[in-house]
Structure 1
Amino acid sequence: MIGLDKTSSIKSALIWIIMLVCSLTLSAAVLLSTMQDIKLQQQKLFAELDSYLNILSSNARDSLLSNDSSLEEQRLNSFSAVNMIHNLHVYKWQPATEQFDFFASYNHREVGPHPVQFSRLTQLHKPYVSDNHIELSKPLMQGTDLLGYVYMRVSRKEQSAYIQNRIVTDIIIIVIALSLAFFIAQALQKKFTAPLHQLLSLMQRVAKDKDYQLRATAAPLHEYNLLSRAFNTMLDRIEQQLLKRQEAEQEIRLLNQQLEHKITERTKALKASNQELLDTLAKLHQYQSQIVQTEKMSSLGQMVAGVAHEVNTPIGLGVTASTLMQDKLQEIQKSFDDKNLTASQLAKFLLDSKENLGIIYRNLDRAASLISSFKQVAVDQSNDNRRQFNMLQLINEVLLSLRPNLKKTQHIINVDCPANLNIDSKPGPINQIFINLIMNSLIHAFEQQEQGEITIQVQYVQQNCLIRYCDNGTGVPENIKKRIFDPFVTTKRGAGGSGLGMHLVYNLVTQALHGKIQLESTLGQGIEILIEFPVIDTSNTNKT
């Protein structure tokens, strides 16, 4: 909106526009006319000086050939009738010395002598105009031979006086023309603004008294009549709108009463629906938590089955070796009782016993390692407490617990983790994350591959643990990639897939570890998962 201090009246605007247009056009016309006249006068002056210079050259050539300087002085004095000529010089060229000699001169009686211009003669072929004088020269030739130079110095006093008179005349003309324009503008603005003032007064009355029955009268201006008709039409429509508004207000009062009654009823119904929705949502969260917990226990159960199968092998070998030793011991005991035990039998028994004990020890130690690793992983999975642990050791324990699933395949797992990276965090969620990611690759990514490759990279950067998990499997379809962390999203629908694996990973990263996860994948080129969560580095090495 334009501020009142920035507005202007039509009266002042009309006067200023007329004055501005007149002053600009008049000034431009006078300026162009003056410049053209001054230029024309200067051209006439140069032409006149050139004719004088031609006369001087013709006379001076004869004087130089006859070497009669007194005659030339008399000829130069004849220019005393021309007041604007102040100085005339004639110079003679001396071929022997290749220099000019002063030959003759004329000096106006009010000016006096002017210094010789030996060095400037060749530079004044075109008129040189200074503030007060015009200087020019012309060579005197005899065929191709240079006889000398004629130099002329002319006053610009008459030309300056003419220019001043012309400027004064132009200023007077401009002032007279602008005065006339001002009086004309005053007369025009009265004719144009008087009807507008009448219309403005009518508008103020309508605004003050709210009397919309008033109407604007006609005026001798066509545009004003159009504005008056438009204003009268506006008043008619306002009257009609006021009547309609009164009727509408009455209808609105009735509708408001009905609406208030309906809103009261709908509010009661909405409160009941909201309470029912809250109850349903609470049950849904409870069911979802139960399903997620079931998924965690399901993965733990699969691990138990795999470890049990893996432990059976060394225990079976140990049982076989111990049974064999028991049979050998009974044979030795019988030979000893029958007193026919030989040294060779005893030596063979001792050798077999040593081998069997070695087999029993190695397999029991292997079973103990598997059980210890599984126990640590199981404890971590069921415990969300923080503790200090070695990251590489935790990854190796997870891989050892998944060995029954991995040894059936030819897949390769590459681990890039600093051996001395000790951190303070929650190993349980990290265990579960690695197990779910690896099992997800085995089940989904490498379904069509005999030998896949998994890469796990771990770094510690600025109080954060960065995990980069990659595989070169089939990748994730575009229609699933954006929903990969939503619950019940799976490509194995109807084939045993629950769709909760990646949802569980997302919850573990964002809620249990307070971190963030990002997945990038192209169909047919595998996946790349970036996980970042805050930890405390308890190792003594320099941080990355």
Structure 2
Amino acid sequence: MPRLLSICLLCWLTLNPGVAQPKAADDPPPVVRLVRLPAEGVVLDQGWKWHAGDDPAWAHPGFDDRGWENIDPTRDVPLLPQVRKAGIGWFRLRLRIDRSMHREPLVLVVEQLGASEVFLNGRLLYRFGRVSADPKRLQTYNPLGQPLAFRLSDEPEQVLAVRFAFNNRLPYLKFASRPNPVLRLRLNKTNQQTAEVKLTPVRIHDYGNIGFFLSLSILHLALYWFNPKQKANLYLLIFSVANLGLAVVYIYSYETHSVEKRVYLQAIIPVLFAVSFIFVLTTIYSLFQQPRGMVYWSLVGFYLLYIPFFSQLYEVGPVLGMFYLPLIYYAECCRIALRAVRQHQRGAWLIAWGGIIYLLSNGWLILTLAGLLPNGPGLVFQIVSYEIALLAFPVSLSLYLALEFAFTSQSLAAKLVQVQLLMEQTTAQEQEKREILASQNERLERQVTDRTAEVVAQKNELQATLTELRRTQTQLIQREKMASLGELTAGIAHEIQNPLNFVNNFAEVSAEVVDELEAEQQQPNPDTELEAELLRGLKQNLHKIAHHGGRASAIVQGMLEHARSGTGEKQRTDLNTLAAECLQIAYQRLRAKHQDFTCELVTGFEADLGNEVGKIDVVPQEMGRVLLTLYSNAFYAVQQKQKSAPVEYRPTVRVCTRLIPRHVPEGDAATAESNRRRPGEEAVEIRVSDNGTGIPEAVKAKIFQPFFTTKPPGEGTGLGLSLAYDIVTQGHGGMLSVESQLGEGTEFTVCLPATGGTAVT
């Protein structure tokens, strides 16, 4: 129990150094007198007055500041809560300087954690940053001890006023013995040492760490590059980079003029601490192949939980993270290393001694910070203790890994000798194998030659089979065309039947009228009016016979135009008329086979499909074949559905055409009308839909493949839609697509360029 109390007392003394070395706080006199300036200058830390707020009149030397609060602005941030709370205020100091120094040029060395304007006897000397009560407009600036020259006035009493703004939103930190004054002004002569930024032991320590950890990082990067299986080199590389980052952050944070940058850079420090200690612990576990159990993960989680509290504890947080918590990590590393020593593991004593040296040096450093041991001039003892503690363990780990690398190299050299002996034995065996392989190669070459001859024969046979298949495919395509022509002929015959019936009927009526006229003329007293009436009727019948004969002739002429092979060149074609004629032909063709079948035909044609009314550039014979195929499939689908559908089902086939203009923003009607007439930027769409059986998804994926059909044998060859797809896409640069819902119907869409020039995509 007494030992535990002693440890707690030691920690309390370390975190509260002001208790270990109490100072008397006497009220400063109203006027500070300076008779001479020593070589190191004078720090103005007494006689200051403070008042929160902002009033330019407070810079005037005659202002009465006796009611203001006495203050020492060189103290740390937590010891001046009134400054931090106010945000903006004024410091005033009255100086009575010996007249012998009035003629000498003096310098003022300033360090601060805010922004300030320095006045001497009401005259602005210097402005550091931007002073403002608004944190958004405030710009802090630390001159970092830069000497600023000025001259005293002839008045016996000099009044130094500082308008000061403090950013109370920043998480300020203090690291060990590094000073952190709110405002520190030092008065000195120009011919004496004035620069505060010089090569101090602290800076030598920081720059030395940069060089050391940079070299260590390069070393372990090289070791890991040559031996990536040794993960300890990778972990030590990360450890070295983290410590290199710490050294860089230390230097830059204390050499940057921006206080905000300094504070935010210091916020990175706990993360780098965590990476450093966690990976040095991971290195030990990896080197000695220790399982990462509860102790390892507890230590890792403990430090990760500590990171958010680092910047909230001012001086306590850095001291805990830099000195006390690492004791736990390195104690665990020493425990594992000592266990390895007891197990006679090679080189483990190096790491154990490194850990012991760290624990001793860090313990000495903690006692020095607590004031229980002397510190020496310029913090020498603290710096030496910290440097030994910081470098002892990584140096021991690096030596261990270097020895392991040397042992591995020696082992590899011995194995190399063994390999050479084995290679000599293997060479003799290889020579014997070569002779065996040579004989086997000869036998294989003969077998390959024989096999090649067989393959060539099979190739020729397959080539002949392929030629026969192509010939058969051509015959099938011709058969499909002939079957289509036969169905077309049946449709034409059925279409011509109607006008022929009219011709026959009117011819019979006309013969009866002629007989009646001859009978009347044989009468002794013929009736002239009746003869005239019969002649008029006969004339009307002849006109009707001529009309229906012309209709039959027109049908035959149109069918001949569609049936002839043509030149294959595109022509200006009335697409609406072509679609309507093909629809009637396909319907009459099916009616010729199934006279009891009826279907509702619905058309919706847009008149303006091209540059001329209703005409676009297509090959009419090929496009007619496409339309006949789509119509035939539609009629077949509705006919099949009618066989099993309810009585109220009405087969319906729809065909519509429309012009698709290019995209135009909404509301721009004039541009839309202009673009409708611009060639090459419109497409014509033909939709053929039915309310038939629909197409399953599995069938729809293969519907345009050659020789694929769902019709019973003898009713389809599977070439109709394949040929239609080739005609639309390859012959006309268009698109042919299908949408279907099983049990509801199918819709085929043909999309063609309106001018026949630009392909549709």
Q: Please indicate, yes or no, whether the TM-score normalized by the shorter chain is above 0.5.
A: yes
Equivalent AA in structure 2 for residue 327 of structure 1: E
Aligned-partner Cα distance in 1 for 2:700–2:394: 80
Q: 2:16 aligns with which of 23, 33, 40?
A: 40
Q: 1:302 aligns with which of 484, 487, 493?
A: 487
Q: How does 1:204-215 map to 2 (within 5 A)?
A: 212-213=420-421
Aligned-partner Cα distance in 2 for 1:330–1:533: 59
CA contact (8 A) 1:317 1:360 kept: yes
**What's the offset of the Cα at 1:423?**
2.3
2:706 corresponds to: 487
**What's the offset of the Cα at 1:442?**
0.8
Unaligned runs of 5+ in 2: 1-8, 29-43, 50-63, 83-183, 187-368, 592-596, 643-649, 662-680
1:436 corresponds to: 629
Aligned-partner Cα distance in 1 for 2:570–2:47: 113
**Aligned pair in 2 of structure 1 residues 446, 416: CA closer, same or farther (>3 Å)?**
farther
Aligned-partner Cα distance in 1 for 2:438–2:752: 60
1:390 corresponds to: 574
CA contact (8 A) 2:477 2:719 kept: yes
CA contact (8 A) 2:736 2:751 kept: yes
1:271 aligns with 2:471: no
Q: How does 1:505-516 map to 2 (within 5 A)?
A: 505-516=724-735
1:335 aligns with 2:520: yes
Over the matched positions of the two proteins, sequence identity in percent amounts to: 24
CA contact (8 A) 1:458 1:466 kept: yes
1:331-369 superposed Cα distances (whole Å, 9 cap, x missing partner)? 323432444211342243134224423432442233233
Unaligned runs of 5+ in 1: 1-32, 57-83, 90-114, 138-154, 214-235
1:172-196 superposed Cα distances (whole Å, 9 cap, x missing partner)? 4456778988998898789656544
1:524 corresponds to: 743
Aligned-partner Cα distance in 2 for 1:522–1:315: 42
2:588 corresponds to: 404
Aligned-partner Cα distance in 1 for 2:461–2:632: 39
**What's the offset of the Cα at 1:433?**
0.4
Q: 2:620 aligns with which of 398, 413, 427?
A: 427
CA contact (8 A) 1:377 1:398 kept: no
1:212-241 superposed Cα distances (whole Å, 9 cap, x missing partner)? 22xxxxxxxxxxxxxxxxxxxxxx6x7787
CA contact (8 A) 1:485 1:502 kept: yes
CA contact (8 A) 1:454 1:472 kept: no
Q: How does 1:66-77 map to 2 (within 5 A)?
A: none
Equivalent AA in structure 2 for residue 167 of structure 1: L
Aligned-partner Cα distance in 2 for 1:359–1:182: 117
**What's the offset of the Cα at 1:117?**
4.1
**What's the offset of the Cα at 1:434?**
0.2
1:476 corresponds to: 695
Aligned-partner Cα distance in 2 for 1:254–1:416: 81
CA contact (8 A) 1:463 1:534 kept: yes
Q: 1:320 aligns with which of 505, 519, 530?
A: 505
Q: Over aligned residues, Cα RMSD in angstroms?
A: 4.6
CA contact (8 A) 1:335 1:341 kept: yes
Which protein has greater RCO, CA pairs closer than 8 Å, 6+ apart?
A: 1
Q: How does 1:103-142 map to 2 (within 5 A)?
A: 117-120=66-69, 129-130=74-75
1:30-61 superposed Cα distances (whole Å, 9 cap, x missing partner)? xxx99976753323566x547x78xx9xxxxx
**Aligned pair in 2 of structure 1 residues 187, 366: CA closer, same or farther (>3 Å)?**
closer
1:414 corresponds to: 603
1:366 aligns with 2:551: yes
**Aligned pair in 2 of structure 1 residues 387, 203: CA closer, same or farther (>3 Å)?**
same
**Aligned pair in 2 of structure 1 residues 43, 342: CA closer, same or farther (>3 Å)?**
same
SS where residue 503 of structure 2 aligns? helix
1:248-268 superposed Cα distances (whole Å, 9 cap, x missing partner)? 544433332222112211212
CA contact (8 A) 1:374 1:401 kept: no
**What's the offset of the Cα at 1:499?**
2.7
CA contact (8 A) 1:519 1:530 kept: yes
1:408-449 superposed Cα distances (whole Å, 9 cap, x missing partner)? 522223233444242223111111000011011111344223
1:451 corresponds to: 651
Aligned-partner Cα distance in 1 for 2:520–2:744: 70
SS where residue 485 of structure 1 aligns? coil
Output the TM-score relative to the length of structure 1.
0.60
1:502 aligns with 2:721: yes
1:374-423 superposed Cα distances (whole Å, 9 cap, x missing partner)? 222223x6653332222222222323433524775222232334442422
Aligned-partner Cα distance in 1 for 2:730–2:532: 65
Aligned-partner Cα distance in 1 for 2:659–2:487: 30
Equivalent AA in structure 1 for residue 555 of structure 2: L
SS where residue 524 of structure 1 aligns? coil
SS where residue 268 of structure 1 aligns? helix
**Aligned pair in 2 of structure 1 residues 293, 130: CA closer, same or farther (>3 Å)?**
same
2:354 corresponds to: none
**Aligned pair in 2 of structure 1 residues 278, 460: CA closer, same or farther (>3 Å)?**
farther
Aligned-partner Cα distance in 2 for 1:85–1:343: 150
CA contact (8 A) 1:422 1:537 kept: no
CA contact (8 A) 1:314 1:366 kept: yes
2:128 corresponds to: none
Equivalent AA in structure 2 for residue 170 of structure 1: Q
Aligned-partner Cα distance in 2 for 1:135–1:508: 91
Equivalent AA in structure 2 for residue 409 of structure 1: T
Q: 1:288 aligns with which of 435, 454, 473?
A: 473
1:473-493 superposed Cα distances (whole Å, 9 cap, x missing partner)? 211133422222233322222
1:6 corresponds to: none
**Aligned pair in 2 of structure 1 residues 130, 385: CA closer, same or farther (>3 Å)?**
same
Aligned-partner Cα distance in 2 for 1:180–1:498: 89
1:109 corresponds to: none
Equivalent AA in structure 1 for residue 657 of structure 2: Q
**Aligned pair in 2 of structure 1 residues 346, 278: CA closer, same or farther (>3 Å)?**
same
Aligned-partner Cα distance in 2 for 1:272–1:156: 104
Aligned-partner Cα distance in 1 for 2:376–2:412: 51
CA contact (8 A) 1:292 1:504 kept: no
CA contact (8 A) 1:429 1:513 kept: no
Aligned-partner Cα distance in 2 for 1:482–1:304: 33
1:167 corresponds to: 379
1:296-328 superposed Cα distances (whole Å, 9 cap, x missing partner)? 221222121222232133223222212322332
Equivalent AA in structure 1 for residue 630 of structure 2: L
Q: How does 1:185-196 map to 2 (within 5 A)?
A: 195-196=407-408
**What's the offset of the Cα at 1:129?**
4.7
2:561 corresponds to: 376
Output the TM-score relative to the length of structure 2.
0.45
Aligned-partner Cα distance in 2 for 1:311–1:281: 44
Instruction: Considering fraction of residues, name the structure with more helix.
Output: 1
Aligned-partner Cα distance in 2 for 1:301–1:321: 30
1:53-102 superposed Cα distances (whole Å, 9 cap, x missing partner)? 8xx9xxxxxxxxxxxxxxxxxxxxxxxxxxx996699xxxxxxxxxxxxx
**Aligned pair in 2 of structure 1 residues 258, 536: CA closer, same or farther (>3 Å)?**
farther
Larger Rg: 1
CA contact (8 A) 1:373 1:397 kept: no
**Aligned pair in 2 of structure 1 residues 239, 411: CA closer, same or farther (>3 Å)?**
farther
SS where residue 447 of structure 1 aligns? helix
